A and B are shown apart, each in its own frame.
Chain A
Amino acid sequence: METYPKNKRRHWLATGCFAAGFVLLSSFALASEGGADRSADLLDLLYRWINFTLLVIILVVVFKKVNIKQYFTARIEGIKKELEDLKKQREAAEGKARDLENKLKAFEGERKEILAQYRADGLAEKERILAEARDRAKQIVEQAEVSIQFEMQTAKEKLKEEVVALAAQRAEEIIAREMTEKDQDRLVNDFIEKLGKTH
């Protein structure tokens, strides 16, 4: 805290009293120019000055008693400290903001990486599913071809069987109709002849 020397204070006090006296005397001089009708006003002014001076004296005494200088000095120090604290808080907040910004940037980068990874995984999965679907489709087609071949073969065989059965039935009908006793005798003779040759 800054302190003034005693002679300097006295100088200030004398200057103040002089100024007050000058103002007071000047007022009297100005009042005497107006005559008797203005004496009442001068008296009123005198009272006001006295009142004012007393007020100044009281204020000086009171301020001295409460050590106003020290109060304001402490107040200034407090404000300075608060300013410093606020500065520190601001710096800390700025630091946090920078950290958050950095984190945000890092997160953004990470987000992009994750998205890229997901895209890559998605593409790989898509390729895998497509390949699997292609294989499955190929298998289905192959199985269908085998089934078709099998069904066609079965149908052919069935048709062949039906045609052969029908032909055999027709042949039997014709033979039964056309077979004569002579034919039967010839068949019996052939049978007997073959039996004779078997032993």
Chain B
Amino acid sequence: MTRSKVSKRYAKALLSLGMEDARYQEYGKELRAFADSYESYGELNQALTNPAFTLEDRKEILKALLTKSAASDTIRNFLNLLLDKSRISAVGEISSFYEQLTDEVSNVVRAEVVVPRPLAGDAESRLSRALEQMTRKKVRMNVRQDKSILGGVIVKIGDLVVDGSVKAQVQGIKESLKRGE
């Protein structure tokens, strides 16, 4: 079985637990917080995956970490399970799948918005509304700045890309000129 399939299964299992106690949103945030820490700190990564340390030692390290955090018991148990099954290294991927599943459950889509400079005034909220009207789902926007697009906006929702950038328009003109139109 591939790692992705395994990660999906773990994510689904955690979601089913979260659906039972209606805390799946909270679990998602906690899992994301741990995954970000795990992926950001190489030493933590090494400490939890290095086979030079015994499983008991690694569990102690994880326990010490979780004690300082405000993670729920469900997440603590889930992370311990991942450590037992040597799947802790896939925590980032599991978290991503979990977010996708919770988005589907919550009827939410994630939109990546690229702009050359920060959106002014209520542009962000108006854009969010427009996207919600378009997708008929709640939209969670992640706004990112990229000056190379020159101007305008690019929105990516899953496989859908709506490119309203000036760079795209220049490229379109360039292609038209090449074709001799």
Chain A residues packing against B (C-beta within 8 Å)? 160-161, 164-165, 167-168, 171-172, 175-176, 179, 181, 183-185, 187-192, 194-196, 198-199
Q: Which A-chain residue is minimally distant from B154 (CB atoms)?
A: A191
Interface bits B110-143 vs A (CB < 8 Å: 1, else 0): 0000011101110100110011011010000000
Interface bits B163-181 vs A (CB < 8 Å: 1, else 0): 0101100110110011010
Q: Are A184 and B170 in contact (CB under 8 A)?
A: no
A131 to B132, CA, bound (A): 78
Q: Are A171 and B170 in contact (CB under 8 A)?
A: yes
A172 to B167, CA, bound (A): 7
Segment at the A interface, from B3-11, B53-61, B145-153 = B145-153
Contacts of B1 in A (CB 8 A): none
Contacts of B177 in A (CB 8 A): 160, 164, 167
Sample of 16 further A-B pairs with CB below 8 A, known A191-B127, A192-B127:
A160-B180, A164-B178, A168-B170, A168-B171, A168-B173, A172-B150, A172-B167, A175-B151, A179-B116, A181-B117, A184-B152, A185-B123, A189-B123, A191-B153, A192-B123, A195-B130
Q: Within the complex, which residue of A161, A175, A185, A194 is in contact with B164, where a contact is CB–CB below 8 Å?
A: A194
Q: Are B170 and A176 in contact (CB under 8 A)?
A: no
Q: Are A172 and B170 in contact (CB under 8 A)?
A: yes
A195 to B128, CA, bound (A): 10
Q: Which A-chain residue is minimally distant from B174 (CB atoms)?
A: A168
Q: Which B-chain residue is minimally distant from A179 (CB atoms)?
A: B151
Contacts of B130 in A (CB 8 A): 192, 195-196
Contacts of B162 in A (CB 8 A): 195
Q: Which B-chain residue is minimally distant from A186 (CB atoms)?
A: B151
Q: Are A179 and B164 in contact (CB under 8 A)?
A: no
**Most chain A beta-carbon neighbours within 10 Å: one of B127, B162, B166, B167:** B166
Q: Are B126 and A192 in contact (CB under 8 A)?
A: yes
Q: Are A184 and B151 in contact (CB under 8 A)?
A: yes
A190 to B130, CA, bound (A): 12
A187 to B154, CA, bound (A): 11
Q: Are B115 and A176 in contact (CB under 8 A)?
A: no
Q: Are A176 and B134 in contact (CB under 8 A)?
A: no
A195 to B131, CA, bound (A): 7
A94 to B153, CA, bound (A): 121
Contacts of B171 in A (CB 8 A): 168
Q: Mind listing 29 A-B residue pairs with CB under 8 Å?
A: A160-B177, A164-B174, A164-B178, A167-B177, A168-B170, A172-B170, A175-B150, A175-B166, A175-B170, A176-B147, A176-B150, A179-B116, A179-B150, A179-B151, A184-B115, A184-B116, A184-B120, A184-B151, A184-B152, A185-B121, A185-B123, A187-B151, A187-B153, A188-B152, A191-B127, A195-B130, A195-B131, A195-B155, A195-B162
